[in-house]
Amino acid sequence: MNQEMMKNTLMETLGMEVVKASKEEVIMTMPADSRTHQPMGFLHGGANVALAESAASIGAFLNVDPEKQQVFGLEINANHMKSIRSGFVTARATPAHIGRTTMVWEIRMENEQGDTVCLSRCTIGVVPAKK
């Protein structure tokens, strides 16, 4: 997974960047700025969820053969624990379960001081690729 693949996507629109992407861990960053703020000037919870699902989906994609399988988010939850107005949020996604038809990823998002901003869990479905 590289930045080029993120062109013309939600991830590019929100300013997300991949720092690390492997089968065991995905690290991404996203700015807290006008692209990701809610009307009161804080990082939007939905932007956190978009970051979490993006990181989980990249990790899931790296765990399948894309010639034979595709991955899609089935369910996501998020607990928002701290608000931020500026800077960056960093997401670290790790697999809790890698199965044949589903995966579960845990995503911890932190501010630049290392405080937990959001905890999320995302279930990914693995389906045969359409030919």
Whether 2 shows a pLDDT value over 70: the answer reads no
Task: Provide the number of structural domains found in the chain.
Answer: 1
Q: Which two tokens stand for residue 111?
A: 């501010």
The per-residue pLDDT of the chain, averaged, comes to 96
Phi, psi (5° rounding) for residue 82?
-150, 140
Q: Given a cut of 80, is residue 3 above it in pLDDT?
A: no
Token pair, residue 89, equals: 């949020």
Confidence of residue 1 (pLDDT cuts 50, 70, 90): low
Q: Are 118 and 80 spatial neighbours (Cβ–Cβ below 8 Å)?
A: yes
Alpha-carbon Rg for the chain in angstroms: 14
Q: Where in the sequence numbering do the catalytic residues fall?
A: 53
Give the pairing of strands 26-31 and 88-98.
antiparallel
The range of the structural domain enclosing residue 104 comes to 3-128
Where residue 43 sits, what CATH number does that domain have?
3.10.129.10
